[in-house]
Amino acid sequence: MVAKQLTVVQVVPEMDEGGVEGETLDFAIYLAREGHRSVVISGGGRLVRQLEQNGVNHVYWKDIGTKSARCLKYISRLRAFLIDQRVDVLHLRSRLPAWIGYFAWRGMNRSTRPALVTSFHGFYSVNAYSTIMTRGERVIAVSDTIREHILSNYQLDPQRIELIYGGYDPAVFDPDSVSAQRVAVLKKSWGIERQTGPVIMLPGRITSWKGQDVFVEALAKIKELPFCALCVGDTDENQSFTKRLRDSIESHGLEDKVRLVGHCDDMPAALLVSDLVVSASSSQPEAFGKVAIEAMAMGRPVIATRHGGSLETVRENETGWFVEPADADDLATCLRRVLTAQEMLAETGARGQHWVQNHFTARCMCERTIDCYRRLLEEKRKRRTGEILSVVQMLPELDSGGVERGTLEIGRYLAGRQHRSFVISGGGRLVEQLEAEGSRHVDWQVGAKSPLTLKYVLPLRRLLKNEQIDILHLRSRMPAWVGYIAWKSLPKKYRPTLVTTFHGFYSVNRYSAIMTKGEGIIAISKSIERHIREAYGVRHGIKLIFRGVDKEIFDSAAIDPSRVEQLRTAWNIDSSRPLIILPGRLTRLKGQDVFIRALAQMRNTGYQALLIGDIKDNPKFTEELIALIGEYQLADRLSLAGYCDDMPAALMLADIVVSASSNEPEAFGRTTIEAMAMGKAVVATAHGGSLETVTPGHTGWLVRPGDAADLARALDEALQAAERRAAFGRAGRELVNRTFTMKKMCEETEALYRELVDAKRRVHADRTEVQEAEFN
């Protein structure tokens, strides 16, 4: 299949000298040569002729880079141009033109507007003006240093950033293709045709940023050596700084050694004039440092300042050397060392040439950029047709707990299927895992029960609209209020599909009723489904989706014995005694107090027991539990293990797993099915979701809620029946594999998302058809 030829528009302030302009030129010509329609919009400059000679369409808009009201006229003009020319990609490479381009693009029809790409070519000052460069649907960073700058200073999804190094044109920067005559012409025009000592060159705009002043100061410290130094760059562009340089050269008595030669149209030949090239950027690091790679391409060694993109392009003591920024003494020392050992120059230059030929060619840069375009366009097509969904899940935090882990699992599943997964929460220990698995985390404190939490309504509204979210999935009450208000305030055409999940038997009141507002309402158990129908009178839109176990994690065959032994040692488990564990948050809801009273009433005392849960989460209740253990003299049999981040290994240690929820039934009882998945017998309270997961006499024991004596009876019975425990474990594992897997939960959730989104698309299509019929 032949790839579609694209129409690409790049926008820059001007096409004169500089790294941005050079990269724009290289890529524009590459596009034209590859048969694409290549357009550059700029305020003109020296490079326009070269663009047009190579088949690029240059559009001259005088004020496109002018910081005045005059540039605003281009917003509507650019929008009309993009529509008329059916542009596929709009690539913005500088801040002011980027604002113009963004406003033009944003005003277009979402379904037909081009892909928007921005390039970070520098360390822009961090302010509202510079944020425009993060608005691209893809943001190209020209070095890893720039990528880190973006991530450190802007709230941007890392997945939207593409690292694409700049590159040089090997056909242009090739020592073998530069004639001796071209070199001789430059030497004569610069008055150095009789120069016998080494030539040191600093190419770049004449500006304090490029460090020509530091360069001159360093040269003054080694002026007794035989050398000639050339500063290549337009001397008319920054006349005040040029005058300062001339004054400095004169004051140091360097008139015969240092020359400001002005702009050069033949940089390949210029670099061959030199023996050593210096990149002395000082006040600000180079974002990439094209001068360095062009010099190495011509076989010239480089001295560069130790910061920014130079750290990625120059290899110290192999292709060049580093000096500290703005340090004339360090630069002078380095110059003296290499100039007095000139045999190093040719060897270092040869290694540099080989290095850049393999890593930094313009063709590589161009191919990676066009690949970025195609992937973005394909993603946009899939999002437009519904093949890719954009999903936001909201919950109070991402710490431990069933709601959090379910959110994590859906996020991982979505990202693994190339959907776009966002999670909004107040953070927690699971954030790192979430992001590593491909979801974007937005750190907003949406779980605080305070009117101040409503401050997130407007940011959420913007996120839903700008990211074109398909599904807003609300998983807890306070975040649900924030999400619902943001959703309701959007025009209907911008609203995502609203989904809520009932994770518990919430108190029945207006506050909890927010969980019934979803266009789709997920009930995680039949008990919860009945609760929604009976307590809120909801008859339609409820979908039963059982929560599930990740069988890749909760699989006894996949557990390395060393993990189990590590926990056995840490918790001081006696292998000769059966182990009973109760995992879960330390809260009265989970019934740890009932469990302790049950242990105290048991006839069998030859066991060991553990409460597994974060002891810092609920300090007051933890103190109460410790007091109960002391009161019933259970310290030799029962311990508080604290938080555990390896529950599969912990379950492998157990002989019996208890779910003792008492005051309120478990909505589902994830701990129970995880234990069953690991082949463990379970004892659970006979209410809520446990009635759907535990079958008495088949997979475990059920006991009356809050009844310590009944729990003690079941535990005594379980301890006396090892073979029965094993049989219950096997039956439980079979039930989980059949009904309660994470894979099934995720597939059913995705199916619900698609069903709701497709229904909304059909309604929208029907309305559009009716409107068109009425218009005609």
pLDDT band at 773 (very low <50, low <70, confident <90, very high): low
Q: Where in the chain is the domain with CATH 3.40.50.2000?
A: 7-163, 175-179+186-359, 386-544, 577-740
pLDDT at 766: 59
Give the dihedral sign, CA 750/751/755/761.
positive
pLDDT tens by residue, 452-464: 999 999 999 999 9
Distance from C-alpha of 451 to C-alpha of 304, rounded to nearest angstrom: 54
3-class SS of residue 474: strand
Distance from C-alpha of 79 to C-alpha of 158, rounded to nearest angstrom: 29
Distance from C-alpha of 334 to C-alpha of 24, rounded to nearest angstrom: 34
The rounded mean pLDDT for the chain is 93
pLDDT band at 623 (very low <50, low <70, confident <90, very high): very high
Helical (H) or strand (E) element with 755: helix 742-775
Is it the case that residue 110 has pLDDT exceeding 90?
Answer: no
Q: Could you tell me what percent of the chain has a pLDDT over 90? A: 81
SS3 content of the chain, % helix, strand, coil (to 5): 45, 15, 35
Among the residue ranges 317-326, 475-484, 758-767, the one predicted with the least confidence is 758-767
In 10 A of CB 256, how many CB atoms?
A: 9
Is it the case that residue 768 has pLDDT exceeding 70?
Answer: no
Burial of residue 340 (CB within 10 Å: 0-12, 13-18, 19+) is exposed
Question: Residue 24: which of 55, 47, 4, 46 has the closest Cα?
Answer: 47
pLDDT band at 770 (very low <50, low <70, confident <90, very high): low
Distance from C-alpha of 769 to C-alpha of 776, rounded to nearest angstrom: 11
pLDDT at 355: 93
Residue with tokens 């045999």: 343
pLDDT at 341: 82
Q: 190 Cβ partners below 8 Å, 6+ apart?
A: 230, 259, 261, 273
Distance from C-alpha of 89 to C-alpha of 10, rounded to nearest angstrom: 8
Distance from C-alpha of 341 to C-alpha of 332, rounded to nearest angstrom: 14
**Are 667 and 502 spatial neighbours (Cβ–Cβ below 8 Å)?**
yes
> Tokens standing for 42?
């700029």
In 34-72, which ranges are continuous DSSP H helix? 48-53
Distances (CA, A) of 476 to 482, 512, 540, 613: 10, 9, 20, 21
Q: Which CATH number fits domain 577-740: 3.40.50.2000, 3.10.180.10, 2.40.37.10, 3.90.650.10?
A: 3.40.50.2000
Q: Identity (one letter) of the amino acid at 110?
A: R
- Place domain 7-163 in its CATH homologous superfamily: Glycogen Phosphorylase B; (3.40.50.2000)
pLDDT tens by residue, 491-537: 998 899 999 999 988 889 999 999 999 999 999 999 999 999 999 99
pLDDT at 285: 83
CATH 3.40.50.620 matches 175-179+186-359: no
Residue with tokens 């609209």: 465
pLDDT at 302: 95
Exposed e or buried b per residue across 50-86, where buried means at least 16 C-beta atoms within 10 angstroms of its C-beta: ebeeeebbbeebebbbeeeeebeebbeebbebbeeee
Is it the case that residue 1 has pLDDT exceeding 80?
Answer: no
Find the mean pLDDT for residues 43-50.
94
pLDDT tens by residue, 575-621: 999 999 999 989 998 999 999 999 999 999 999 999 999 998 899 99
Exposed e or buried b per residue across 469-490, where buried means at least 16 C-beta atoms within 10 angstroms of its C-beta: bbbbbbbbbbbbbbbbbbbeee
The strand pair at 7-11 and 542-544 is best described as unpaired
pLDDT at 657: 97
In 557-613, which ranges are continuous DSSP H helix? 561-570, 592-601
pLDDT at 2: 47
Find the mean pLDDT for residues 233-255.
94
Find the mean pLDDT for residues 301-325.
92
Distances (CA, A) of 443 to 7, 134, 341: 38, 18, 55
Which DSSP letter does residue 580 get? E
Distance from C-alpha of 22 to C-alpha of 172, rounded to nearest angstrom: 12
- What pTM value is reported for the model? 0.73
pLDDT tens by residue, 359-409: 899 999 999 999 999 999 999 999 988 899 999 999 999 987 789 989 999
pLDDT at 767: 59
CATH number of 386-544: 3.40.50.2000
Is it the case that residue 776 has pLDDT exceeding 60?
Answer: no
Distance from C-alpha of 466 to C-alpha of 461, rounded to nearest angstrom: 9
pLDDT at 164: 95
3-class SS of residue 466: helix
Residue with tokens 């110290």: 316
**Are 725 and 683 spatial neighbours (Cβ–Cβ below 8 Å)?**
no
Find the mean pLDDT for residues 188-212.
91
Distances (CA, A) of 711 to 460, 613, 692: 47, 20, 19
The strand pair at 440-443 and 89-92 is best described as unpaired
Find the mean pLDDT for residues 271-291.
88
Q: Could you tell me what percent of the chain has a pLDDT over 70? A: 98
Q: Tell me how many degrees the CA angle 577-580-581 measures, rounded to the nearest 5.
A: 135
